[in-house]
Structure 1
Amino acid sequence: MIPELGHYALVLALFLALVQATLPLIGAARGDIAWMDVAKPAAIGQFTMILVSFLALTYAYVVSDFSVLNVVQNSHSMKPMLYKVAGVWGNHEGSMLLWVLILAMFGGAVALFGHNLPPTLKARVLSVQAMIGVAFLLFIIATSNPFIRVDPAPLDGTDLNPLLQDPGLAFHPPFLYFGYVGFSMAFSFAVAALIEGRVDPAWARWVRPWTLAAWSGLTMGIALGSWWAYYELGWGGWWFWDPVENASFMPWLAGTALLHSAIVVEKRDALKSWTILLAILTFTLSLIGTFLVRSGVLTSVHAFAVDPARGVFILALLVIATAGALLLYAIRAPSMKMGGLFAPISREGALVLNNLLLSTATATVFLGTLYPLFLDAIDAGKVSVGPPFFNATFIPLMVPLIAAMSVGPLLAWKRADLAGALSRLKFAAVLTVICVLGALYAYQGGPVMALLGVALAAWAFFGAIIELTDRIKLFRAPLAESWRRAVGLPRSSWGMTIAHAGMGVAIAGMTGSAAWMTERIQVMRPGDTAQIAGYELRFDQVEERPIANYQAKTGTFTLSRNGEFLATLHPEERWFPVSRMSTTEAAIRTNWVSDLYVVLGQEQQGGTGGYATRLYHHPLVPWIWIGCVIMMIGGCVSLSDRRFRIGVPARAKRDRQPTPQPAE
């Protein structure tokens, strides 16, 4: 009965989405307030129905209802509860239900909290958002129904892909979809603004919080996926420029450009046409990512290789949404006023440079990801595009971007003094040189690119700190005044500083792990020892034992340094008998400055008792994820700014005199 309730709720959500997509849009065109007001209850009702449907599917997984085909194919009665719940979105049908749930959640949030939006704009935004919902709800009901029954019901399921039975993968998709789908809100605001024919600073202020929320979620989603790939797959790396990784990275790059471009629209009423185009393209890249992982064109643990009909449906949706929005843009964009003029050396100029470099980087990743797939689709041969291509093309674009990241916030609007801004960064430059010399000393040299990476990381981090101290006049004014300035600083400024500093920390982690990683691969028997990066690892034993729904082969390694015991490490090889797959669980010992990483491989044939083992030492690698978390925190701090929550800056404090009472 519960699955049928979920199915009917999904159908009802489709009808509510159809109402929301049409009546408010017609009402806005006719100036009919009553019709425009339909958008709010329709959006809330649509979200409620999809939530009921999602909870119904979750219930089926929790109680192991094997009369539901989706549960049979992706769950098992012996699976831990966390992975039973994660199994809801660990498959195509359930993940699409999560997709539309987040889509409806953003629409419901605008309906509930968009009090400051003009009625016509709000009605059009919610209508465009509902049009996307209609398309995906039709897609789910027609081709990807998660509530199909199976009769007779089997006694047990076929289990979830073992690689997905991991805490990182349990939380990675919700954050990733929050970012993917969240950019639909920027798309809806852009299309609604084009329909109205008006883009102004108020529009940029309304669109920024939704873009910021999506960007923060996507940042965390990508970080969790990278972290999972690092410790679960046992290969010692954290990023491989895999097409599915790139599918999430492209909208992140475009979304970062959109956030910075919207600042220029809000502050200077400039770059309006470009910002609208970025909003359209950012969500288009999200749809491209959705198509890649669901069309069957990719083979990846992240991808849902399903029948081609589903891929064609999503491709058609992608073409219609993008072509329709771009056609509207082509018609309306020429009529948009240019806005304020500015000199090349200015805050606006720095943000334009930011956008140019980020857009070029996005295009580079797009070309490297899609070109091999395109050639393969037309039978023009197979081309392999991997890390060498992306490292050779993407990294050079990031060097000037990071270099300018610290300078831009110190420039004045409209026209600025570059020499003056650079002079305020002299302490950041000194600290950067110290960090480079420290890296040179600690690692006895190293590749030139590694030292450049350290320089960029230090420059970004200390530049963000110096910019903040400059704002509050630290050491240039009494501490009381600096404190007053710090307290009065907008949260968006704090968020920018935190996010930029987090980027510096993440760059340091990427540089250290790539340039100074040490690797050892050998066959070890119990009692053998191996040396790596000054550490000694003794292989003690291997123990086999049943755990939950898998068989674990656990190794025991004793870690020491200079004869002093440090830790006991337990890498595992897991065998899942239901799905007949094995996974590798690396043992990682971190001190938050570096990781020692141990992988237990296959037992060697011939009865020698030896096991293939892989040892890695990763300097600074924890900083990658620490930096990503800091960036997400920066986004959340910015999101709490009063201008984004209420639409106006904080009211200035004034000495209030008692209001005189009228004489009676």
Structure 2
Amino acid sequence: MIVEVGHFALVLALVTAIVQFGLPLIGARIGDDRLMETGEVTAVASFALIALAFTALTAAYVGSDFSVMNVFQNSHSAKPMLYKITGVWGNHEGSMLLWVLILAFFSALVALFGRDIPASLKANVLSVQALITVAFLLFILLTSNPFERLLPAPLEGQDLNPILQDVGLAVHPPLLYLGYVGFSVAFSFAVAALIDGRIDAAWARWVRPWTLVAWIFLTLGIAMGSYWAYYELGWGGWWFWDPVENASFMPWLSGTALLHSALVMEKRAALKIWTVLLAILTFSLSLLGTFLVRSGVLTSVHAFATDPSRGVFILAILTLFIGGSLALFAFRAQTLESGGLFAPISREGALVFNNLFLTTACATVLIGTLYPLVLEVLTGSKISVGAPFFDLTFGPLMIPLLLAVPFGPLLAWKRGDLLAAAQRLYFAVGTAMAAIILTLAFTEGMRILAALGFGLAVWLLAGAVTDLALRTGYPRVTARVALRRFTGLPRSAFGTALAHAGLGLTVLGVIATSAFQTELVTAMKPGDIREAGGYQIRFEGLAAREGPNYREEVGGFTLSRGGVAVTQMESAKRFYPARQMPTTEAGIHTHWLSQTYIALGETTNGATVVRLWYKPLITLIWIGAVVMALGGTLSLLDRRLRVGAPARARRRKSETGAVAA
């Protein structure tokens, strides 16, 4: 019965979303407050109904109700409870339901917490959000119904894809979708502004918190997905330029540009048209990622669906929203004011420089991702665009951008002094030069590129520290005064510095791992010893084990250094009978910021193929992403990013004064 309730809730949510789309839009056009207010009520109602449907599907998974086709295809009664729950979104239908749930959640947040947004703008935003919801609810109900029944009901399920039976799956998709779908709010604000034909600095102030929330979650989602692929797939790499990885990376690049562009618009009322376009393009790239994953045009460990009919439906959604919004932009852009002027050497100029390189890098990734698909459609030829292309195109675009990052916060608005900013960065320059010299001195061979990479990473870290130090007035003031000023800095200042420092940490991890990792592929028998990264690895042998829904052969290893045992490690090859699929479970030991990584291969004539890696400072790649997200969170907590906070503060002050009088 709960399954039918969930299905009916989805149908009601569709009806509610249609009402949410129509009535507020009409109300905004004719100036009817009551019609505009219906958007708030229907947004909350839609979220409640979709949440009910999602709860019903979760209950079917937890109860192993194999009369539901989706549960039968993606669950098993012996599967651990955690993976029964995460299996809800470990498939196409369930993940789309999660996608729409998060979309409705953001709409409800706008309705509940957008009290200071002008009524007509808010009504139009909720209307656009509702139209997106309607499109994807139709997609679910017509092509991807998660509540479809099987009669008679099978006694057992087919189990979840083994590589998705991992704790990372519990975290990665929800984080990624919160990022993907969060950009829908910026998109809706952009379309709503185009409908009204009016955009100003206040618009940027309303958009920036929502964009920041989406950017934070997308940063964490990409990092979690990278780490999941690193330890779960047994390939030993942290990024593969997989087309579906690229599909999540492109909105991140565009969203980062949008954050900086919105800052210019908020502070200086400049880059108005460009910021609106970026808001449209960022969510368009999120929709493109959805199409790539679910259309069947790609073969990837990340891809869910291979049904072309679903791809055609999503392509129609892309045409509606991307084509429609760009057409509206082309029609309205000429009526919008372009904004204030500024000198090329200024903080605005630095942020434009940032936008130029981020969007160009995004376009490069887009071309490398779509070119093989377009070529196959036009000529029938199949080619693969892999890491060499992206390394040669994306990498050089990032170098000037990273070099410019510390300059931005030190330049004045409207007109800056580049020489003065460079002089204030003497500490960062000296620290970066020292890093380059030390790298060359203490590594074997002339690793010039690695040394320059370390210098670049340290330049970013030292630049972030310099920014905070200069804000306190140090060293022109005493340490006590500087400390007092430091504690009084706005949270956005700490957020900016942390985000830039996190980028430096990630760059440091990427350079160290790429330049100095060691890899050994060898056949080992019990008792054999190999060395990697200064550690001795002794193979103790294989042992068979049974899991709840799998069998595995586990290889035991002893990790030693200087003859002293450090730890015991295990790596395994699993087999899942229900799916008839094998997986590799890597053994990973973290020592400080570096890792030893072991993956098992085939066993022949008593010898097992073993792949050994030593990866120096690799954890900095993901630590840096977490630090970036923490910086974004601090910026989000800044009072100036709480829409209407100054107005409410003034209102409370005036009320207090009136009472006192």
What is the TM-score with the length of structure 2 in the denominator?
0.97
1:612 is aligned to 2:615: no
In the TM superposition, residue 384 of structure 1 has moved relative to its aligned partner by 1.7
8 Å Cα contact 2:206/2:643 also seen in 1: no
Deviations 1:316-349 (A, max 9, x none): 1101111111111111111221222110000000
Q: Which has the higher helix share?
A: 2
Equivalent position to 1:622, from 619, 622, 627: 619
Q: Which residue number corresponds to residue 38 of structure 1?
A: 38
* Pair 1:444 & 2:441 matched: no
Letter in 1 for 2:624: G
Residue 370 of structure 2 corresponds to 370
Cα–Cα, structure 1 residues 519 and 649, in superposed 2: closer, same or farther, change >3 Å?
farther
Could you say what the CA RMSD is over the residues aligned between the two structures, in angstroms? 1.7
Distance 2:292 2:659 in 1: 70
Which amino acid counterpart does residue 34 of structure 1 have in structure 2?
Answer: R
Distance 2:623 2:148 in 1: 42
Q: Deviations over 1:225-246 (max 9, x none)?
A: 1001111111111111010100
Aligned runs of 1:48-63 on 2, under 5 Å?
48-63=48-63
- Cα deviation for residue 169 of structure 1 reads 2.1
Q: Which string of whole-angstrom CA distances, capped at 9 and with x for unpartnered residues, describes residues 351-410 of structure 1?
A: 000000001000000000000011112334122210000000000000000000011110
For 1:16 and 1:328, the matched residues in 2 are separated by 26
| Cα deviations by residue, 1:567-589 (Å, 9 ceiling, x for unpaired) | 11111111111101111111111
Q: Give 2:534's aligned amino acid.
A: G
Query: Aligned AA for 2:499?
Result: A
Aligned CA distance change for structure 1 residues 474 and 335 (closer, same or farther; 3 Å): same
Question: Within 1, Cα distance between the matches of 2:453 and 2:552?
Answer: 40
**How far did 1:462 drift?**
1.0
Out of 289-298 and 336-345, give the one that drifted further.
336-345
Q: Within 1, Cα distance between the matches of 2:660 and 2:236?
A: 78
Percent identity, aligned pairs only, is 59
Q: Structure 1 unaligned segments of length 5 or more: list them.
A: none
Structure 1 segment 430-579 matched on structure 2, within 5 A? 430-579=430-579
Code of the aligned partner of 1:640: L
**Does the aligned pair in 1 maintain the 2:297–2:306 contact within 8 Å?**
no
Correspondence list, 1:353-392, <5 A: 353-392=353-392
Partner residue, 2:644:
647
* Contact persistence 1:169–1:224 (CA under 8 A): no
The amino acid of 1:72's aligned partner reads: F
Give per-residue Cα distances to partners, 1:130-181, cap 9 Å, x unaligned.
0000000000001100001101111110000000111112210000111111
What amino acid is aligned across from residue 220 of structure 1 in structure 2? Answer: L
Q: Distance in 2 between matches of 1:304 and 1:8?
A: 25
- Letter of the structure 2 residue corresponding to residue 642 of structure 1: R
Report SS of the residue matched to 1:148.
Answer: coil
Deviates more, 1:637-646 or 1:113-122: 637-646
Matched, 1:171 2:171: yes
1:660 deviation in Å?
Answer: 11
Distance 1:445 1:77 in 2: 57
Aligned position for 1:249 = 249
* CA distance, structure 1, for counterparts of residue 100 and residue 498 of structure 2: 32
Unaligned runs of 5+ in 2: none
The residue identity in structure 2 corresponding to 1:236 is G
How far apart are residue 259 of structure 1 and its match?
A: 0.3
In the other structure, the counterpart of 1:116 is: 116
Match of 1:302 in 2: 302
Give the 3 Å change call, closer, same or farther, for CA 134–525 of structure 1 in structure 2: same
When structure 1 is superposed on structure 2, of 128-137 and 545-554 the one drifting more is 545-554
Distance verdict in 2 for CA 1:286–1:446, change over 3 Å: farther
Q: Is the 8 A contact 1:5 1:53 kept in 2?
A: yes
Residue aligning to 2:10: 10
Who is 1:99 aligned against?
A: 99
Partner amino acid for 1:534? G
DSSP-derived class of the 1:513 partner: helix
Q: CA deviation at 1:476?
A: 2.4
| Matched positions, count | 657
CA distance in 2, matches of 1:396, 1:589: 33
**Cα separation, partners in 2 of 1:446 and 1:647, compared to 1, 3 Å:** farther
CA distance in 2, matches of 1:446, 1:95: 49
* CA deviation vs aligned residue, 1:235-261 (integer Å, no higher than 9, x gap): 111111010100000000000000000
The residue that corresponds to 2:587 in the other structure is 587
SS at match of 1:538: strand
- The CA distance in 2 between the partners of 1:383 and 1:331, in whole Å, is 38
Letter aligned with residue 200 of structure 2: D
CA apart distance, 1:433: 1.5
For 2:223, the aligned partner's letter is A
Partner residue, 1:149: 149
CA contact under 8 A between 1:241 and 1:387: conserved in structure 2?
yes
Counterpart of 1:603 in structure 2 is: 603
